[in-house]
Amino acid sequence: MLHFFRKVSLLLFACPAVVVGQGTKGNYTPLPLKDLSAFESGSPNWTVQGNIAIHPAGSAKIKTQSGEGILVGSPGKPIVTKLKANDLRFYAEFNLSPGAEGNLILPGGQKVRLSDSSKQKGQGTQTSGYVGQFPTQNAAKAPGLWQTIELAYDASVPNLAGSARLNSLSLNGVTVLETIYLPSSKSPAEGQSIAMEVTKGTIAFRNVGYQLLASRKPLTLTSLNYKVYSDKWDSKEYSKLDHEGTSGVLTQEVTNGMREFHLVYEGDMEVNEAGDYIFTSIYSGPMLDIEIDGKSVLTSGEATSQETHQGTVNLTQGKHKFKLHYSRFPWRQPALGLRVEKAGIRPYDLHTLSSLPEPEPKPYISVTPDMRPEMVRSFIQLDGEKMKRTHCISVGSPDGWNYTVDLNRGALIQAWRGQFADVTEMWYERGEPQLLFPAGLKVHVSGRSSLASLENSNATWPDSSNINYLGYNINAQGYPVFRYALGAATVSDQLVSGGNSLSRTFQVQGNAAAPLFALVASGKQIVEIEKGLYQIDDRFYVQLDKKYKPTIRPAGEVQELILPVSGTTSYSMFW
């Protein structure tokens, strides 16, 4: 335990920017957490701190550091904000101690459950996200890791007295509830407070933000002129002007049913309120580009089924030049939509309703492991990468511990817990773009090879090591065991569900030209919580045998956790 306190002290005092440097997400207005002045009244069970460290197993006392930015609560009275709200969006990051339970109380008095449910099998009334209806899956993280909650809420529903509506609820980036009607005993005529309560253990909050949603329209399009070109849909340039004119609204219907076209709108954008505006395109076609004052604010590639893309720009009050370029797939129905939003207003459309026809129903196709693991070969596109990874296999377990391996690099690139795979883009119609998407709580692991021969533990880790994929065998439980050659050495790589973790085992045969190492994890901050237990940012934990001698080392702007590999070497991950 003394070892834990030493490690926590290093984390708290060496890295205060973990909290102070954080900011509220997107267009959310931050709830000040310098003290308790943003709340109706203080209570002994609530304090504001500068940092907090929680052991995932609860084997050491929670450690805090004085300062600001984190609201820490224990069982007792709820803490009620001075903020009064009706319709709103809400965002917060929260951290739970082992076994903790509490609630976020919405303006209508409804409660959204926050609980340490990461080890629950399935979902129910005890699962984080329960709000009178079971969440679609358990997307909770392990204690000690910061989590996120984001929701959109209407305090009243037209023509349905005594009701409120939860439009969406996401936990850790996973949507777990949508369009849930809730009873409301409070009048929406005046705004009501938001509150947080803790019924068991400790819950901390940071980066709390909100948007109060008014139904005004501070941005409009005026003086719109359009030109329709008959060049091929995939032409990089267009010059065959078919017709032109003026329009009072934004719509693709001015093309008069042409099968192939490039449509260019130009006009003015009248802005009554300065601020950051988020534009969302909804379309079907090979491209859509939007320019404001000559600068591109939203450029997106092909969209086959009215997918959405977003761009953000800060606009001053007054008039701005607007330009939009859209082209159509000749084999699909044309669809063009543009939506705008800003802090404090409800998102609204800049297009006519008929410009964005109801899309053809698109099924959700999934793969669900039942009695044995499932394996799917696919392309994978990682966040921040422009190119698809083409030689990937994703493995799902009946226990809900899933992962993807890039076979070209011998790299564990992502892992997730919960539902296995969304394969709609692989198997629906022509199967474009042939991508598999994790359907649960995902963590990025590394884009680089998991194994490499290094001269020593200080040698730079290669982006893609000299590793040759030899195929895989299937073990008795149905999991693949991958085989790689590194020089004269052959390494087997087995990843299996450990019930409450993902366990990985390397077995080495033969001798490599240089010592073998495994890149266990990389991140902005890697902290040794206790001997053999490491926290990787707020993404996941790594558990190693205490006899191992890993190295935490700097690597540019990140840190790496590397482990010597010989004979049989194992570690596990959980989140």
Q: How confident is the model at residue 26 (pLDDT cuts 50, 70, 90)?
A: low
Going from the C-alpha of 571 to that of each of 45, 549, 564, 568, the distances in angstroms are 39, 12, 12, 11
For residues 340-364, give the mean pLDDT: 92
Q: How confident is the model at residue 3 (pLDDT cuts 50, 70, 90)?
A: very low
| Cβ neighbour number for residue 14 with a 10 Å cutoff | 11
Question: What is the Cα–Cα distance from 353 to 357, expressed in whole angstroms?
Answer: 7
pLDDT digits (tens, 9 = 90+) for 510-520: 988 899 999 99
pLDDT digits (tens, 9 = 90+) for 118-141: 999 889 999 999 999 999 999 999
Give residue 124's pLDDT: 95
The pair phi, psi for residue 426, each rounded to 5°, is: -95, -40
Give residue 23's pLDDT: 59
DSSP state string for 275-311: EEEEEEEEEEBSEEEEEETTEEEEEE--BSS--EEEE
Question: What is the Cα–Cα distance from 172 to 179, expressed in whole angstroms?
Answer: 19
The vertex-536 CA angle with 116 and 14, nearest 5°, equals 105
pTM (predicted TM-score): 0.87
Class of residue 50 by CB neighbours under 10 A (exposed 0-12, middle 13-18, buried 19+): middle
Look up the CATH number of domain 219-355.
2.60.120.260
Q: Could you state, in order of their start, the residue ranges of all structural domains in the chain?
A: 2-212, 219-355, 366-574
In the predicted structure, residue 40 carries a pLDDT above the cut 60? yes
For residues 522-551, give the mean pLDDT: 97
In the predicted structure, residue 15 carries a pLDDT above the cut 70? no
In the predicted structure, residue 190 carries a pLDDT above the cut 90? no
- Please determine whether the domains at 2-212 and 219-355 fall in the same fold group of CATH: yes
Give residue 431's pLDDT: 76
pLDDT digits (tens, 9 = 90+) for 416-467: 999 999 999 999 887 778 999 999 999 999 899 999 999 999 999 997 778 9
Look up the CATH number of domain 2-212.
2.60.120.560
pLDDT digits (tens, 9 = 90+) for 294-339: 999 999 888 888 989 999 999 999 999 999 999 999 998 999 999 9
